[in-house]
Amino acid sequence: MFVTYDTFHKQTDELRQKMAAACQRAGRNPAEVSLLPVTKTHPAAAAEYVARYGLPAVGENRVQEAVDKRAQTTAVLRWELIGHLQSNKARLAAVHFDRIQSVDSEKLIAALNRAATELGKKLPVLLQINAGHDPAKFGAEPEAAPRLLEFALAQPGLQVDGLMTIAPLSDDPAVAHRTFANLRTIRDSLATRFGVPLRELSMGMSGDLEAAIAEGSTQVRVGSALFGPR
């Protein structure tokens, strides 16, 4: 059941306190870690809640759902695609999203670059890396990351902001820690090798955001803890 705005506000406050505490334990500045509310499967009012609260962006998993939702809201927000994207929907995504986090193949990179170039825009992207080696997750394998980044950096229509990953589902917290530490190591190696900052590390969701923050996340993606169960 979708929550009221007051409930959303309270739950968002509580989550941000949890994030701040995790930052304190990790010796990090809470300002270094942003919250991306995930509005997938929730009504357009969820985006209105986010804008009213004062957060700058929302995350969506499906292109068409986000297109429909944006048409129903006057909220001034950035919209980020965090779900898997097929290359045949690259143009629609390039039109309607302000950043695409789930870029995991050269074919998709080429399609997004074509679309962005035709639209006359520089499209921010994150490269999705399967840092937990999980066969159930999308994302390029870690060993493919250098080639993928090199290809993406050569595209004039794209701006590579950093990397994204999703940890494997596990009852063992060490699995999430290993996954997130691996992504940070990959990022550090790529940044040095290619001389680019790759500032954004989008990693961590409701169940593992503390591990993500401990390992260097700059953005956590949270939905049901804010808006209620889907």
* CATH (one of 3.40.50.720, 3.90.550.10, 3.20.20.10, 3.40.640.10) for 5-227: 3.20.20.10
Task: Give me the percent of the chain exceeding a pLDDT of 90.
Answer: 96
Annotate 208-230 with b (16+ C-beta within 10 A) or e (fewer).
bbbbbbbbbbbbbbbbebbbbee
pLDDT in tens, 105-147: 999 999 999 999 999 999 999 999 999 999 999 999 999 999 9
Amino acid (one-letter) located at 217:
S
The encoded tokens of residue 87 equal: 């290359």
> Does the structure show a pLDDT above 80 at 33?
yes
Give percent of the chain with pLDDT exceeding 70.
100
36/72 Cα distance (integer angstroms): 20
Task: At 82, give phi and psi (nearest 5°).
Answer: -115, -5
The pLDDT tens digits for 156-191 are 999 999 999 999 999 899 999 999 999 999 999 999
Comparing CA positions, the residue from 89, 99, 90, 49 lying closest to residue 69 is 49
